[in-house]
Amino acid sequence: NAGVTQTPKFQVLKTGQSMTLQCAQDMNHNSMYWYRQDPGMGLRLIYYSASEGTTDKGEVPNGYNVSRLNKREFSLRLESAAPSQTSVYFCASSHLGVGNGYTFGSGTRLTVV
């Protein structure tokens, strides 16, 4: 029972490089999310996808793009990484309306130098 799988787990980028964080869930959830976690600030929503084919901005979307490839997969892309994007990124999924809460992936620790 894999739940939510994120890759990679760790990544170091140089300023200006691009990369894509991958997320896949096997729970048949309709909604998926990308959060970033910075010290002392809890988690902040970057983008979310309420259902396959839809995406919307969260609280801190600048510098990011997303793709909901299919029901299982939701990727986060950094087109031109900046040191301010150094953070831990979590993908999550949920089945809205069921009230079972959200399942989080194990996180990607990204450092931009």
Partner 1 sequence: ELKVEQNPLFLSMQEGKNYTIYCNYSTTSDRLYWYRQDPGKSLESLFVLLSNGAVKQEGRLMASLDTKARLSTLHITAAVHDLSATYFCAVDIGGTSYGKLTFGQGTILTVHP
Mask of contacts with partner 1, 16-35, x by CB under 8 A?
Answer: ---------------x-x-x
Structure tokens at 87: 């953070």
CB atoms within 10 A of CB 89: 23
Residue 68, classified by CB atoms within 10 Å of its CB into exposed (0-12), middle (13-18) or buried (19+), is buried
- Minimum CB separation of residue 64 from partner 1 in Å reads 15
Name the amino acid, one letter, at 83.
Answer: P
Span from 11-19, 60-68, 79-87, 95-103 in contact with partner 1 (CB under 8 A): 95-103
Residues that bind partner 1 (CB under 8 A): 31, 33, 35, 40-45, 48, 50, 58-59, 90, 94, 96, 99-107
